[in-house]
Amino acid sequence: MTSITKPQIIHEGMARNALGLTIRDYEGRMSTLCAGCGHDSVTSAIVQSFFELSVPPHSVAKLSGIGCSSKTPAYFLSAAHGFNAVHGRMPSIATGANAANRELSLIGISGDGDSLSIGLGQFAHAVRRNLNMLYIIENNGVYGLTKGQFSASADVGTKAKKGEVNEQQPIDPVQMAMALGGTFVARSFSGDKEQLIPLIKAGIRHNGFALIDVLSPCVTFNDHEDSTKSYAYTRQFFHPAMHADFVPPAEEIKTAYDEGEVMTIELHDGSRILLRKISKDYSLNNRGAAIDYIRSHHRKGEIVTGLLYIDESEPDMHAINQTTKTPLNDLPFDKLCPGGEALETLQQRFR
Amino acid sequence: MPGRAKSRVNDFVIRLANVNGTGSASANGLLMKVIFRMGIPVMGKNFFPSNIQGLPTWYEIRVTKDSNLARSGEIDIMVAMNAETYQQDLKSLSPGGVLIYDSTWPRNSVLTRQDVTILGVPLAKICNERFSDARTRILMKNMAYLGTLAALLDLDRQVIKNLVEETFSSKQALIQANIEAIDLGASYAQEHFKCPLPTRVKSLDKTAGHIMIDGNTAAGLGCVYAGATVGAWYPITPSTSLMDSFKSFSERFRVDPKTGERNYCVVQAEDELAAIGIVLGASWNGARAFTPTSGPGISLMSEFIGFAYFAELPAVLFDVQRVGPSTGMPTRTQQGDILIAAYASHGDTRHVLLFPANPKECFELAVKAFDLADRLQTPVIVMLDLDIGMNDWMSEALEWNEDYRPDRGKVLGAKELEETESFYRYLDLDGDGIPYRTYPGASAKGAYFVRGSGHNKYGGYTEDEDEYQEVVDRLKRKWDTAVKLVPEPVIKMRKSAKLGIVSVGSCDYAVLEAMDRLARKGIHLNYLRVKAFPFGDKVAKFLNQHERIFVVEQNRDAQLKSLLLLETDYSKARMESILSYSGVPIDCRCIIEAIEGHVAKEVAA
């Protein structure tokens, strides 16, 4: 992934978080994406979220596959290890990383090409495994690096820049994750940080697979009229159903809500998500109803956004496996190797 | 009795023709184990279909006082329990042999031979009279023929009894039924035939210090002993039992008895592409991780294998080779993945291969594979095949060196990073082509990007020609270091020999037997068995010491020979192939024939 070195300038009055770090400590190298690319807004929302959560940058690993979106891990958290996998295969790398070190905080950045075509299987199985990671799809309906082919998320009737019309059904990662038993399913828009940042924070803290499908327009190949993934279209048909506020542990809930208006969900680390219905007829925690709701609005051309499903009680991959709490990469050899005497004993059965 | 039965004490082959899914495998395994416990060296090969129930299956047991542990190609005793294959089974019996069949049902008189002895035992009838349940009747029929063989071959009945008791120790009720069935079969033989046959066993003391084990079990155990904590796989014959082994030994040794918590994590992936990805993700984070697979899996994993080569991540793969190309014959053996494994993936890639020839080496080379992968920061593929992986072999007992500590290679932890001025991932600081690595989460100073795209020695993305070339040239130097670290070949030299045999893996015992028999005819050969790729100096030296080299391997296209010709400067004209690739484990006859043919030609010329 290409990038440009960014000079680190820290002003004296810059805000510092609980670790004493400034937002600069959460940035990466300079983006080489097109000016106005939705992905850069997502990157800055990620930077903001990790900074505000005071996550030590080196305790995070950032992963991606191949594509424009997959270049973005170079543009945030330069003190975190990164893994730029082969196309569509980042979820398996994340699975292995989590298997080896369950304490590492994982953030995966993918795109609609990377996750919904070549990587559809790996995406689906990461959801199924309830792998403990935040998985962001920067969804723009188009292949950018290969110059403008439709992706699998393109809506029927969408016109490519050169005039070709897509007639195949779109694959919606949100509906898929919902159907596959995803435990944290959200959709947002790169242009709405107020909605996106709390979702990223909640996704980082969620114990399990957190999907955020972020509509992130491609200014070069898919921002024209007749595109349903353009800035103008998304702004017009953006339909927030549930708003989530994120409250870190030990922090007071400051905003005043009317009684019955807000639902509080406590996460494993003591943080809370305050969920507020924006659309009265949306029912949270009902997968079937959620899918119906999303589909009926999609038929009207609307894009339902917000934290659309959450279940904090499902076991993640390690809980299912009953893995020891100590990260496996930290176990001493004498705990792993049974030794010569055990080998002698067990060979009795082979004699 | 017709036929000309030879006296062949402790030197003969029994073949058992069964229908799969009828429980014959446990009776056949028991038979082999009895012979082994009587101190007689023994070999067992299972020829089974890619099917669960109803198709023909054969089990071949070679009783071999001289420890010739390959197939001989002869069949001296046939237990023909499958009516469907009866004709074929009768035909395949060697002259002078004995055929035993279930005489409950009439046998077509056309289907007979004058040069063999045919013994009918009404196995179904005697079992049906004694046992009432349908499934029990089927199962006990197997034990009944075992009883008949016990009488005919003079098997030690006490050894049989002990083994039955051990095998069914958790199901007491079964012990009595099994022993009764064995007695029924034995009594019938004693009453109707002259027992024992001239072809029979006699106790020896030649199996002390040995075990009966299959290579997959040994390799899985090796992974446990190497300290592997993450295993990822997609089920594929014939590698599945390797992960079964890792899981069962881990359950035994790696589960906290109080909490039930596991010190390992096995992920059954959605496919092989994901399985290798999981291995790389885990080893990127410093866990020892592995995946067992077979040829089709290697094809699928190739993309990530190339990634791991270029990004320099350790990974251990076990390729339990089966018959290709494509789906091929999943339950038959071959050594057909040598070339794809050596150069898997696009671009300039090459990988360390290890070639065990028996279960003991499966155990040892499994451990070695992790050390090499960590030291060299690259994939290491352990090349088993179905024959080693799934058949029970008489093997020297496994040993463990308590002083062993894993070689985790060049890893900088948080403390070391603190002490260094700066860290760059791909610098060759020691001149051996091996850079230093760091694990995620340890320290901000060690952070870098793992990438399969072009990178420079500092770990940064590059499209610069010089920076790119510098990295791939260093990878070549790392390969030169690998040559010094991999296991050396096994060499057997006779000073005067001008002919040499080079072979690999499960061909070993067939080659040894062929050499032995040829020596008795005055044809002497030297032998080198490669244990690793890259080959190294000893292989090149051995080749150059010989006027002619015969390369014995189990594939059609002479893949080992090709690799030797590519990677050494030995003359193609002086290298000859001896190939066996039908899917059945190699026997010594093809080797003897080829070499005798060559010698005869030389004499004629």
**Measuring CA to CA, which residue among B504, B497, B538 is closest to residue B519?**
B497
CA A223/CA A132 separation, integer angstroms: 34
Could you give the CA distance from residue A139 to residue A151 in angstroms, rounded to a whole number? Answer: 9
Instruction: List beta partners, residue A239.
Output: A304
In this prediction, the answer to ipTM > 0.85 reads yes
On the 0-12 / 13-18 / 19+ scale of CB atoms within 10 A, B346 is exposed
Interval B564-571 mean pLDDT: 97
CA-based nearest residue in chain A for residue B449:
A82
First to last CA, chain A: 56
- pLDDT score, position A4: 83
- Name beta bridge partners: A214: A138, A188
Question: pLDDT, tens digit, for every residue of B447-486?
Answer: 999 999 999 999 999 999 999 999 999 999 999 999 999 9
Q: Which two tokens stand for residue B400?
A: 């463990």
Q: Which residue among B279, B284, B447 sits closest to A58, beta carbon to beta carbon?
A: B447
Residues in chain A with CB shorter than 8 Å from the CB of B394 are none
Task: Say yes or no for a CB contact (<8 Å) between B286 and A82.
Answer: no
Whether residues B444 and A98 touch (CB distance < 8 A) is answered with no
Name chain A contacts of B277, Cβ cutoff 8 Å: 85, 89, 91-93, 95-96, 122
Q: Residues B149-182, buried b or exposed e (16+ Cβ, 10 A)?
A: bbbbbbbbbebbeebbeebbeeeeebbebbbbbb
CA distance A29 to chain B (A): 11
Strand B230-233 to B265-268 pairing: parallel
Q: How far is A347 from chain B (nearest CA, A)?
A: 7
Cα distance between residue B185 and residue B126, in whole Å: 8
Pairing of strands A272-277, B532-533: unpaired
Q: How far apart, in whole angstroms, are the C-alpha atoms of residue B494 and residue A297?
A: 83
Closest-CA residue of chain B to A26: B444
Taking residues B389-400, what's their average pLDDT?
97
pLDDT at residue B203 above 80?
yes
Find tokens 């353009």 and name the residue.
A230
- Chain A residues within 8 A of B252 when measuring between CB atoms: 338, 346
SS3 at position B56: strand
Report cis status (omega within 30 of 0) of the bond before B196.
yes
Residues of chain A with confidence (pLDDT) below 50: none
Alpha carbon distance B192, B200 (integer Å) = 17
CA distance A276 to A278: 6
Q: What is the pLDDT of residues B359-378, one digit of tens each?
A: 999 999 999 999 999 999 99
Beta strands, E only, B260-415: 265-268, 289-293, 315-323, 329-333, 352-354, 379-385, 392-396
Which of B166, B284, B374, B463 is most worth mutating to test chain A (most A CB atoms within 10 A of its CB)? B284
Task: Tell me which chain B residues have a C-beta less than 8 angstroms from the C-beta of A329.
Answer: 229, 282, 285-287, 439
Residues from chain B contacting residue A337 (CB–CB below 8 Å): 224-227, 404
A110 close to A136: Cβ distance less than 8 angstroms? yes
Query: In chain A, what are the domains?
Result: 23-350 (3.40.50.970)
Are the CB atoms for A343 and A337 separated by under 8 Å? no
Cα separation of B372 and B401, whole Å? 18
Q: Which amino acid is at B395?
A: S
Spell out which residues of chain B touch residue A129, defining contact as CB-CB under 8 Å.
Answer: 267
Closest-CA residue to B16 (of B95, B115, B101): B101
Beta carbons of A329 and A99 less than 8 angstroms apart:
no
Could A98 and B256 be called an inter-chain contact, meaning their C-beta atoms sit closer than 8 Å?
no
Q: Is the CB of residue A98 less than 8 Å from the CB of residue A133?
A: yes
Closest Cα of chain A to B117: distance in Å? 34
Q: What's the pTM? A: 0.97
Q: Chain B residues with CB inside 8 Å of A336's CB?
A: 224, 227-229, 254, 263
* Interval B304-345: pLDDT, tens: 999 999 999 999 999 999 999 999 999 999 999 999 999 999
According to the model, what pLDDT value does residue B3 have? Answer: 43
For A323, which of B253, B261, B402 is closest by C-beta distance?
B261
Q: Do A86 and B452 touch (CB under 8 A)?
A: yes
For the stretch B513-527, pLDDT in tens is 999 999 999 999 999
pLDDT band of residue B53 (cuts 50, 70, 90) is confident
Asked whether the predicted pLDDT for residue B6 surpasses 60, the reply is no
Which of A4, A50, A66, A93 to probe the B interface (max B CBs under 10 A)?
A: A93
Mean pLDDT in residue range B96-117: 89
Nearest CA in chain A to B280: A93
Phi-psi region of B210 (alpha: psi -120 to 50; beta: other; left: phi over 0): beta
A27 contact residues in B (CB cutoff 8 A): none
3-state secondary structure B311-355: HCCCEEEEEEEEECCCCCEEEEECCCCHHHHHCCCCCCCCCEEEC
Give the pLDDT score at B111: 78
Q: Residue B401: helix, strand or coil by DSSP?
A: coil
Span B117-142, average pLDDT = 95
Peptide bond into B585 cis (omega under 30): no
Structural domains of chain B, ranges and CATH numbers in brackets: 11-192 (3.40.920.10), 213-396 (3.40.50.970), 414-485 (no CATH), 490-604 (3.40.50.920)
A2 to chain B: closest CA residue: B461
